[in-house]
């Protein structure tokens, strides 16, 4: 770790503030085509797990045909922690410490959850009055709410976890993924620790 990274880590440690327990990252399929992109992602997991208990990565895609290749490469990542990869065709929950969604849009995930709840109502297994936030979340692939969401390269989240991220702290950086370093990650954590979270209030 360089001098500046040690300085940022020191400032974070000195703050009387809880760090993010769940960190999320939004990148694109094109980011993963850059040289060294998967190595940076492995490093990101190491950096994040030093501060957080969970990490979620959302990979937005334009070419749906690229999903199988991306999934195969992401499932091969060495992380030192259990990793779960999910795509648009998956309906099972991801409860591993590190979770990756490939092209799994928030609208699609939420719509699928609502459809499954309506099927339970139609089957007589659930009454409409029993549908609450917890019922919806029980049918989401990524049920946990991230505390900090990091987006590289542009100030837009696209279709990212629209239910789960409603109270998340958003951190946008102009740094592209190919240039993202530990100092950029630590800047995001430091800013999170200095914000006053309002949770919609």
Greater confidence, 90 or 185? 185
- The position carrying tokens 């950029």 is 184
Q: Where are the domains of the chain?
A: 3-194
Q: What is the DSSP string of 90-153?
A: --S---SSEEEEES--HHHHHHHHHHHHHHHHHTTSS-GGG--HHHHHTT-SS-SPPSEEEEES
Query: Is 131 a residue whose pLDDT tops 70?
Result: yes
Model confidence at 197: pLDDT above 80: no
For residue 176, what pLDDT band results from cuts at 50, 70 and 90? very high
- Of 141, 77, 73, the C-alpha closest to 105 is 141
Q: What is the pLDDT of residues 51-103, one digit of tens each?
A: 999 999 999 898 889 999 999 999 999 888 999 999 888 878 888 999 999 98
| The predicted structure's pLDDT at residue 199 | 63
- The enclosing H or E element of 38 equals helix 37-49
What is d(CA 124, CA 108) in angstroms, rounded to the nearest whole number? 25
pLDDT at 23: 98
pLDDT of residue 92: 85
Confidence of residue 105 (pLDDT cuts 50, 70, 90): confident
More confident residue, 199 or 138: 138
> What's the Cα-to-Cα distance from 132 to each of 75, 114, 139, 140, rounded to whole Å?
34, 11, 12, 13
pTM for this predicted structure: 0.90
Whether 148 contacts 169, CB under 8 Å: yes
What mean pLDDT is reported for the chain? 90
Residue 200 pLDDT > 70, yes or no?
no
Residue 30 has pLDDT above 70, yes or no: yes
Q: Domain 3-194: give its CATH code.
A: 3.40.1180.10
What's the rounded Cα separation, in Å, for the pair 30 and 37?
10
């Amino acid at each position: 770790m360089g001098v500046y990274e040690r300085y940022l880590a020191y400032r974070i440690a000195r703050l009387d503030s809880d760090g993010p327990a769940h960190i999320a990252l939004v990148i694109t399929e094109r980011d993963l085509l850059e040289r060294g992109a998967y190595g940076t992602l492995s490093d990101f997991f190491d950096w994040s797990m030093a501060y957080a208990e969970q990490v979620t990565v959302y990979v937005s895609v334009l070419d749906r045909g690229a999903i199988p290749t991306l999934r195969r490469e992401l499932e091969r990542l060495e992380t030192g922690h259990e990793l779960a990869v999910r795509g648009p065709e998956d309906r099972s929950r991801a409860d591993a410490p590190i979770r990756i969604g490939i092209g799994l849009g928030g609208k699609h995930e939420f719509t699928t959850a609502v459809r499954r709840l309506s099927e339970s109502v139609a089957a007589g297994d659930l009454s409409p009055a029993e549908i609450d936030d917890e019922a919806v979340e029980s049918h989401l692939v990524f049920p946990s709410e991230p505390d900090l969401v990091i987006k590289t390269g542009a100030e837009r989240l696209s279709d990212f976890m629209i239910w789960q991220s409603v109270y998340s702290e958003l951190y946008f950086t102009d740094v592209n993924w190919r240039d993202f370093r530990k100092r950029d990650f630590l800047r995001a954590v430091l800013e999170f620790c200095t914000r006053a979270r309002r949770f919609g209030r």
